[in-house]
Structure formats: structure tokens, C-alpha cells
Amino acid sequence: MPSISLKGKAMPASPIRKLVPFSDEAKKRGIKVYHLNIGQPDIETPANVLDKIRQTDLKVIEYSHSAGIPSYRKKLVEYYMKFGIDVKPEEMIVTTGGSEAILFAMNSCLDPGEEIIIPEPFYANYNGFSMTSGVVVKPIDSFIEDGFALPPMKVFEEAITPRTKAIMICNPNNPTGYLYSREELELLKEIVLKHDLFLFADEVYREFVYDGLPHYSVMNLKGIDQNVVLLDSVSKRYSLCGARIGVLISKNKDVVSTALKFAQARLSPPTFGQIASEEAINTPDEYFRVVLAEYHDRRNIVVNSINKMEGCFCPNVGGAFYAVARLPIDNSDKFCQWLLEGFNYNGQTVMLAPATGFYSTPGRGIDEVRISYVLNVNDLKASMKCLEEALKVYPGRK
């Protein structure tokens, strides 16, 4: 029997999914599990998008252009213009989810063994894509005490080696919810230009910013056009996770023409998803006002509730719909498993993501969890109550 690849053996399993068997077991025992572990929003997809799909009058579901349906790319120009981002259709490769945009960026810009610096904690699947492409992730520390702000320039400088080829950020951040300021991005620009690096920016949560804070895009930085690669997705923006549509954007023609070769190999992004995504750009602003108000309330519930729990800390969050909280626990993997296996409060419990999965440095995140506030306000309050009660009785409480 032939053995699988070493790459396959080393490939990390999803830290978000590894507790699923335990939550399935809990449900079988009749326990209600509040899922705060996943990034699947409960928000409805805009009605105009679903209507558009129902009106599909195609006769043949053909391959689209490998770089995406031209009319969709044109429509994206209009979308980005609203954020003062001036891009052309030929500067875009429509991808199968933001996931593929990340993979294309890594494959196009970095060779196996080359390094990408990412402040940790970071979106766990960056590990998977770097493993797939042979790229080495060099994590640098960001800290819960600073709300996970951008590490100082000195820390970047120390991490840069001759093999460093790129820096990657997620803004607003998954898992921390941190929103990078314009000043922080200007600092990044200096490092990137000084060392001639690519800057990959995952901005899929662009619209999800709170307290009236502005979102500043890497595409708005001046003089760094040739270094910047924007990675984007419709998944969270329009609650279209299953459409699997993202985009890679760069003013660097070599990057786009190289990404196109990877795009041609997989033929095309999904047609139905592109139809949905093109229509999604017509979604009325009112939809976002309602959604944002909802997330704003949820964020307040999570951050305020946790900070009221004894020994807990959750920095305020500027964007996205995640927060990382520090809890008085011995081990977040054990704690999250125990919540499903060994605890319930009035027949209810909560499923969280251990933050260890979002760090690549062993040992970090051991007393932290990621909370996705993707439940309605009442369920969210109930789940915070569960967490509070759980912490009172958890055997591994510190």
C-alpha cells in the first residue's frame, strides 16, 4: 500500500473543525450547542442576489473566462471605486473564494522555502496554503495587551532574512478583530519598500468596522503599487460563503499575468457564484446599515460580557466579527473540549475555537479563545452566560 505524502502528513487539520465530533456528541445527548467557533454568518444573503439566481436563464452552464466573467470584473471596478480604490478589470483575477486568491498569491510570488512574515495570531488556513505551496510562514508576535496592534518595525526588521519575500496582513483581522490604522499601514509600506517585499492584504471584512472608524486599504497607499496584492472575497460581505467567489487584485502586471496561468490551469471560477456576486454589488446600502448595526450590538455584548467575567480580558474590537479573549484557564484546547464533553448549563453549552490554532508558535494562545459573534443577540447573551458559568466550575481554572 503506497503511503501518502509527507506534505499531506504535515498538513494541519482545521483547528475550527477538530472539535466537531465532540459537539456532535453533545447534541446527541440533547445539549444545545451555541456555535461561536465558526465564521459562518447567520445573516441572510441579500434578497436581490437570491432573486437573481432564481432568474438564471442560461441554457448551458459554461466555463467562464479564467480571470472571471468580464461583466463581473467591470462591476467590481464600480464596487472598489466607492472606497477610493481605482482598479481596472485587467488587474483582477476572480478566484474560487478568497482561499484561492491566497493560494494564487503565494504560488505566484513565493517559491518553496521562501518566507512570508505574518503577525500572529492569524487566520489558521494561511498555514494550510503555505504548506500547500511550500512557503514558510515566519510569525511575529502581536499581543492581546495591545489589542493585537501591528508589531513595531523593529520586530519586522528582526524577522526579515534574505529568504523573506512577503508580509501578509488581514485587515480587519481574523481572528483578533483588530483594525489597522492608516499610520500602521504607512509603517508597513516603509518596511515593504525598504526590503523590496510583496504586501499581501486580506481585506474580506472591509465593511465590518465599528464605532465610526474608517477602513484604510493597502490599495490606498501611495508609491507601493508594484508590491501590493489585495485578496478579497464576497463570502462575509454578502453572506455568500457558499458561492466561493474571491478576487486577487494587483497593479503589478507580472503578478496578475502569473496568477492567470494558475487560474487557467483550474479553468474558471464558479459561474453561479459569479452571477450572484455581480448582483451583490447592487445590494442597497440599507442592507449593510442593518447588518452593521446588528454586529455592533453583538460585539458590545461579547466584549462587555467577557470583560465583566472574573479574570477574563477581551480587547475592544474595531472590525470583522471575531474577538480573541484571554480566560483564566490552563489550556484552551482542553477547555473548549470540556465545554462540549463535560459541561452544560441548563442543557446548553458553547463551542469556541481554541486560539492555539491561530498561532504557529507552540505554546502561544494557550489561555486564549476565538469567539465569532455570528449568532443573534439573544443566543449570544445565552452563550455568554454559559461561558461565565463554565469558567466558575472548570476544573482547569487558574
Binding to a copy of itself in span 174-203, by CB under 8 A: 196-198
Written as nine digits, the cell of 316 is 475592544
The whole-angstrom distance between residue 37's C-alpha and the CA centroid of its chain comes to 13
Among 181, 220, 226, 300, binds a copy of itself (CB under 8 A): 226
Among 91, 100, 232, 368, binds a copy of itself (CB under 8 A): 100
Q: Which is nearer to a copy of itself, 262 or 338 (CB)?
A: 262
Q: Does 258 bind a copy of itself (CB under 8 A)?
A: yes
Least gap, CB of 359 to a copy of itself (angstroms): 17
Least gap, CB of 35 to a copy of itself (angstroms): 12
Contact 209, 319 (CB under 8 A): yes
Q: Does 128 bind a copy of itself (CB under 8 A)?
A: yes
Among 97, 151, 177, 365, binds a copy of itself (CB under 8 A): 97
Q: Does 165 bind a copy of itself (CB under 8 A)?
A: yes
Among 72, 200, 205, 262, binds a copy of itself (CB under 8 A): 262
Contact 10, 241 (CB under 8 A): no
Amino acid at 226: Q
Number of residues that bind a copy of itself (CB under 8 A): 85
Binding to a copy of itself in span 291-320, by CB under 8 A: none
Taking alpha carbons only, the member of 370, 368, 396, 387 closest to residue 145 is: 368
Give the residue carrying C-alpha cell 460580557: 305
Q: Residue 23 has what DSSP assignment?
A: H
Among 13, 213, 377, 393, binds a copy of itself (CB under 8 A): 13
**CA 165 to CA 196: how far, in whole Å?**
8
Among 19, 87, 92, 109, binds a copy of itself (CB under 8 A): 109
Cα dihedral 254, 171, 387, 351, rounded to 10, equals -20
Q: Does 222 bind a copy of itself (CB under 8 A)?
A: no
Secondary structure E strands in the chain: 32-35, 92-95, 115-120, 136-141, 164-170, 198-202, 228-233, 246-249, 322-326, 348-351, 353-354, 368-372
Q: Does 108 bind a copy of itself (CB under 8 A)?
A: yes
Q: Which is nearer to a copy of itself, 19 or 255 (CB)?
A: 255
Q: How many of the other CB atoms lie within 10 Å of CB of 158?
A: 11
Binding to a copy of itself in span 30-69, by CB under 8 A: 40-45, 49-50, 53-56, 58-64, 66
**CA 114 to CA 4: how far, in whole Å?**
24
Q: Does 152 bind a copy of itself (CB under 8 A)?
A: no
Among 74, 182, 266, 308, binds a copy of itself (CB under 8 A): 266
